[in-house]
A and B are shown apart, each in its own frame.
Chain A
């Protein structure tokens, strides 16, 4: 069940270049939110930014009844969202999609691999995995030093390797380069990031078991409009990213 509700912005902070962390206060639906799910936010009016913006859930605080989102200012919608201030309300569909199925898989060690604005959902995932007693290693990649965020938060959970495209912070190169250089033991990997990165990760780790979260321009966000489909490995097969995903088993979809 998806709920449409007004959530109040209770905190807002710029945490890296063009990157905003926002905490929203809502009602009991938060209790069911799983890592990997997203919220679909109406940032506009009937005449501007008509389509909602899907933003992944970066953290959930069940006691405080809040969720945290992190977004990068990229276009008119995220720019508009960045102009909202603490105390204002947002029209939100919550929670949307299927998250990482961590209750269905058993493991001792997990690897989370995030790129850019794909890093946020992995934070709530890593926290949940840690609570289950699973050892978590994080590999998170950004464009450059000024874009890096949440390194210390991931480091509180487990070991965290940061990589930047230009080498201005941490390793130089891509997340897959870190996988070449560091020997990490894990049973499952969980990844989220740009399609190019996910392609490279799932190809490199094709012998491993893993789940990826993919992004696409969305319409309705609830599975009705068929805008955000992804081919599956079955002939003529497809899945709806907003409803069946955004998280899929890596081998299930064709990027």
Chain B
């Protein structure tokens, strides 16, 4: 019997698989396709203080082994989410992680405080890395000082553990990780999308109305693995890994790199049943590669130094 459980601050998970924020709405649509109780957790769509309409369309474009999106944090606002979206999810025996976004430290704190009135969430994912909004988001994710500031204030306001979602659009991911760890983050969530662009040859214009978008999907998996591997060696807080996960083999790769749980994003659009299918396949993949449990595999990619040819 392969043990799929994994434990992180505030989260006792029956398996390490959760849909990533923004790729699963608030769960209702996918509940029409499969039983959400199968999931390890759910990270719901980003919440801001007031409702946001988001960007103009087109908001998505396909790329080689991936896609660009520029939704722009469309959401009905935190109070609406608490009153109208969370009660539906409370019916399921699945931990809920709320993604908190904002344009200022004050907004992040206000959204976090709003969530304190509900017991329906078990953790917060602090979104300092959305590349698709004009103000806020990514500026907090690329400046270590700002990232630490928003982390410590949100941590103070929160009644649940805080996972800071890091942006890959930085030159030194370790500096960002250490900054938010020092500021009190309970965990990390990484990586968000890489900023990209696609130009339409006929119209000679960027395909996305927002011009730039976030690149996700299998194309970014090696970047995610590298960043998680690097960060794992520099911090002691746990990591929720994500970035192009399509299969149970991908999940094992993220575990080896150092992730304690794994979020699945773009793959849900390709196959709405991908989460339950990965959960079903995971025990045999773990067994095939010599692991009895998920926790056995976490960080095991670091144990063997490379012993290739040396010309020294």
Contacts and interface: CB of A to CB of B under 8 A. Distances in A.
Contacts of B217: 50
A178 B169 CA distance: 53
B57 A228 contact: yes
B62 to A, nearest CB: 5
A228 B59 contact: yes
Interface in B51-71: 51, 53-54, 57-62, 64-67, 69, 71
Nearest to A242: B29
Contact of B71 (A76, A221, A222, A226): A226
A46 B218 contact: yes
B246 A46 contact: yes
A182 interface: no
B293 interface: no
Interface stretch (B94-102, B119-127, B263-271, B303-311): B263-271
B30 A224 contact: yes
A178 B60 CA distance: 35
Nearest to A93: B272
Contact of A217 (B54, B58, B268, B270): B58
Interface in A53-72: none
A44 B269 CA distance: 12
A223 B29 contact: yes
Contact of B273 (A4, A46, A50): A4
Given A224-B23, A226-B74, A50 B59 contact: no
Contacts of A230: 57
A197 interface: no
Nearest to A243: B29
Q: Is the interface of A mostly helix, strand, loop or mixed?
A: loop
A48 B64 CA distance: 6
Interface size class of A (residues with CB under 8 A): 20 to 34
A227 to B, nearest CB: 4
Contacts of B115: none
A226 B269 contact: no
B22 interface: yes
B270 A225 contact: no
A50 B32 contact: no
B1 interface: no
Contacts of B269: 50-52, 219-221, 225
A108 B288 CA distance: 66
A47 interface: yes
A229 interface: yes
A222 B60 contact: no
Contacts of B254: none
A50 B66 contact: yes
A159 interface: no
A222 B62 contact: no
Contacts of B24: 224
Most-contacted residue by chain B among A42, A93, A217, A228 (CB, 10 A)? A217
A229 to B, nearest CB: 7
B139 interface: no
A50 B13 CA distance: 29
A221 B29 CA distance: 10
Nearest to B217: A50
Given A47-B65, A219-B67, A224-B30, 9 more contacts: A49-B62, A51-B67, A216-B58, A219-B269, A222-B272, A226-B59, A228-B57, A228-B59, A229-B57
Interface of A: 1-2, 4, 42, 44, 46-52, 76-77, 91, 93, 216-230, 236, 238, 243
27 contacts: A2-B272, A4-B271, A46-B247, A47-B64, A50-B218, A51-B67, A91-B271, A216-B58, A217-B57, A218-B60, A219-B60, A220-B23, A220-B268, A220-B269, A221-B269, A222-B29, A222-B272, A224-B24, A225-B22, A225-B25, A225-B269, A226-B45, A227-B57, A227-B69, A227-B71, A229-B54, A229-B74
